[in-house]
Every structure is written in C-alpha cells, then in structure tokens.
C-alpha cells in the first residue's frame, strides 16, 4: 500500500486555506503531526463540538469523511473542531496501530486491565485543556469495523438509558447499512475481551478510551460510530460518515 498521509494532509491544508479554517499542530508522532482544525472565530454563545477520526490506521472513511465535510463548509450553529487523523503513522501505512504497535484508543486514564497511553494518546493528553474545551457540548469519534457488515455505536450520555442522541446516531447508520450488530462481543484497545454489542449499542462502557475520558472530564455527550467496512466500498462509507457528522451536530445543537 502506498503511503497516504502526505496526500491526505496536502488536501487538508488546501481545504483549510480555501475555507478559512484555523490549524494547530498538537504534536508529532515520529515526523508526522497530529493536526487540529477549528472554525477561525469562536462564538461563545454556540456549543463547542469536537469530531475526530483516524485512531486506527486502516479505518479510512473517518478521515476522508471529515475532509469532505470541511470542504463543503456547511454553515452550522456551533463551534466545530476536528482532529482528522489521530494516528498518522498507522494511517500512512494502512495499519491499525502506530509504528510501535501501540493501541491508540486506550490508557487515557488508568484502569485495572489497561495500559498507559500510546504516543498519540500522550499528545492528546498534553493538549487536554484545548480538547476538553472543544468537546464541552459533544464529541464524535468515527471508526470502522473492517471485519463486519453490521453497524454499531458506543455512546455516553447523562441518562440512565440511551436518549435521543444515541438513538439518532443509530437511526442514521441504519439509513446506510443493512442491520445493527447484535449479541456479539467485541474488543477495544483498552479491554480484551470487551463488551457485548446489543442491537447495535454499547452504552456507557468505561474502559479508559478517549470517548470515556472526555465524558468523565465533563463533555455533555460522546460517541464512537462503527461503520461496517467488510466488502463495502470506501465511497459509500465516506458518504455515511458525512451524514453521521451532520446528524451528530444537529443532535448536539438540539440538546437533551
């Protein structure tokens, strides 16, 4: 597989320049920066939402979906921040984990079974104040399951049972893919074996992941969407990701 990080970043910088987005290098893994993108001027009266992707290098639709969403420059009533590629060395090689084989979405706080943060995780934690402020009203992390044809989500809300935030994301995935994953145990970067997915959902599963950490740090709601990627064209998955991003923003603006 040809290296892809350079191509992606060239297109990202072009889009940000054309559309007036603000860029910040959070830190580099090897020689590859983790870029943080934000609307140039923040409105204190609007919600702060963070969209991230690329925790796992073989999951391509998330980064490309964010790039296409930024390129379209849809006007929304929110302050939007993005980290399109969390794991640049993995993305460049099309491999799940980074150059050192570290699990990227775990260790954001200590758990009984978990390890410490990866090199990417250390950079995100070092930028804790910026990231927490940017995700105050919601965070979406777009993932893919390359082994599955079924979709699912991990969500955190301040409700005993899943609310309209969770249900809205599941409904949106259901518009693009045939059925939710059900009664299947999955692994996470911080727990192996991990939780059971029931009717497409893992709810408030605490494992030291990025989404778990940000919810504990005060984000109003956080989610990981898992689009199925087994024998499903990238273009279809990218279009689904864009739809998920738009739905996430709408749900966060509406609130509980």
The domains of the chain, with CATH numbers, are 5-254 (3.40.630.10)
- pLDDT, mean of residues 117-133: 97
Task: Say how far apart CA 204 and CA 227 lie, in whole Å.
Answer: 19
Confidence at residue 115, expressed as pLDDT on a 0 to 100 scale: 75
Task: Say how far apart CA 183 and CA 22 lie, in whole Å.
Answer: 43
The string of DSSP letters for 109-165 reads S--SS-----HHHHHHHHTHHHHHHHTTTEEEEEEEETT-SSBEEEEE-SSSS--HH
| Tokens linked to 47 | 């919600």
The tokens 């963070």 sit on which residue? Answer: 50
pLDDT single digits (tens) 188-214: 988 778 899 999 999 999 999 999 999
Kindly tell me if the per-residue pLDDT of 114 is higher than 70: no
CA 234 vs CA 145, 212, 227: distances in Å = 12, 28, 11
| Tokens linked to 198 | 């029931």
pLDDT single digits (tens) 10-67: 999 999 999 999 999 999 998 999 999 998 889 999 999 999 999 999 999 999 999 9
């Amino acid at each position: 597989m040809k290296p892809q990080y350079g191509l992606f970043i060239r297109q990202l910088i072009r889009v940000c320049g054309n559309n007036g987005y603000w860029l910040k290098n959070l830190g580099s893994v090897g020689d590859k920066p983790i870029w943080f993108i934000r609307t140039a001027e923040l409105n204190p009266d609007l919600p702060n939402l963070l969209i991230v992707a690329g925790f796992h290098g073989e999951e391509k639709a998330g980064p490309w979906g964010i790039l296409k969403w930024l390129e379209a420059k849809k006007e929304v009533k929110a302050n939007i921040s993005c980290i399109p590629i969390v794991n640049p060395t993995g993305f460049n090689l099309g491999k799940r984990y980074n150059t050192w084989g570290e699990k990227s979405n775990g260790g954001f706080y200590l758990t009984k079974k978990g390890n410490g943060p990866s090199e990417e995780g250390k950079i995100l934690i070092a930028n804790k104040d910026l990231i927490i402020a940017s995700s105050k009203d919601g965070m979406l992390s777009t993932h893919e399951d390359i082994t599955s044809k079924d979709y699912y989500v991990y969500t955190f809300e301040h409700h005993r049972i899943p609310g309209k935030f969770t249900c809205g994301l599941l409904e949106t995935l259901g518009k693009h893919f045939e059925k939710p994953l059900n009664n299947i145990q999955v692994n996470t970067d911080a727990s192996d074996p991990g939780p059971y997915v029931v009717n497409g959902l893992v709810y408030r599963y605490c494992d030291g992941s990025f989404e778990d950490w940000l919810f504990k740090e005060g984000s109003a709601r956080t989610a990981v969407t898992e689009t199925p990627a087994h024998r499903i064209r990238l273009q279809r998955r990218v279009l689904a990701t864009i739809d998920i991003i738009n739905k996430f923003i709408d749900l966060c603006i509406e609130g509980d």
